[in-house]
Structure 1
Amino acid sequence: MDEGLLRDIAWVHSGDKGDNINLGVVVWDRNDYGLLLEEVTADRVKEHFSDICHGSVTRYELPNLWAVNLVLTRILDGGPARSLRLDPQGKTLGDALLLLPLRHDGRSVSDEAKKRQS
């Protein structure tokens, strides 16, 4: 089984709204969009952040943008004004999501993604 990380095929932008965050995940190459949909499911993201996400994870697909938007609820300990976390706005959670392992069972990622892996 080939294995890589989400960062090999995509970039992430994060934003907060109260106690929730959204993570926009965009693939570098449209040929990797199917892999993104297979690997970055709401369940896998919830599991990835299981220590800190006390609410739900909802995934919205944006095929024209080669992206998904993930909304994670109850993840910021009350939000920026109340949280005692070092990152009360959850900006580093985008980077943390990029460490999600991809298990693509022999499917190859795009040539551009392979260049970024090396």
Structure 2
Amino acid sequence: MSVVKLRELAHSRTGDKGDTSNISVIAYRAEDYPRLCQALTVERISAWYAELLDPAAGPVRRYELPNVHALNFVLPGILRGGVTRSLALDAHGKALGAALLDMDIEL
């Protein structure tokens, strides 16, 4: 079994609404989409961002988009107030996607 960085299998797009960030992970190749579905569980994403998540805001949610070989994760409360109310350096959460792509994935 080998291990690769998620960035070798997929790219990411992020968005924000209030204090919620969504992170889409899109497979480069259709044949890698099932691997992403298996590796990127809600539990694993929650653990990856554990230090940033606000448990009171609600759980991480995962949406599967098989027609475009993508997963979309919604992370409530992670932006700590949102763009207009946060003093965070990355108020939009754009760095969250880049950080996720550093995750190791077993092949």
Q: Corresponding residue for 2:101?
A: 98
Q: Does 2:41 correspond to 1:41?
A: yes
Identity score, percent = 41
Q: CA deviation at 1:103?
A: 2.0
Q: TM-score, normalised by structure 2?
A: 0.93
Q: CA deviation at 1:53?
A: 1.1
Instruction: State the secondary structure of the residue aligned to 2:13.
Output: strand
Q: Does 2:92 correspond to 1:61?
A: no
Q: TM-score, normalised by structure 1?
A: 0.85
Q: Corresponding residue for 1:30?
A: 30
Q: For the residues of structure 1 that align with 2:42 and 2:6, how far apart are their CA atoms?
A: 14
Q: How many residues matched?
A: 104
Which 4+ stretches in 1 moved above 2 angstroms?
none
Bigger-Rg structure (1/2):
1
Q: Which deviations, in whole Å up to 9, do the C-alpha atoms of 1:36-92 show, x marking residues without a partner?
A: 001111110110001101142100000000001110011011111111110011011
Q: Corresponding residue for 1:70?
A: 73
Instruction: State the secondary structure of the residue aligned to 1:45.
Output: helix
Coordinate RMSD, CA, aligned = 0.8
Q: For the residues of structure 2 that align with 1:66 and 1:94, how far apart are their CA atoms?
A: 17
Unaligned runs of 5+ in 1: 105-118
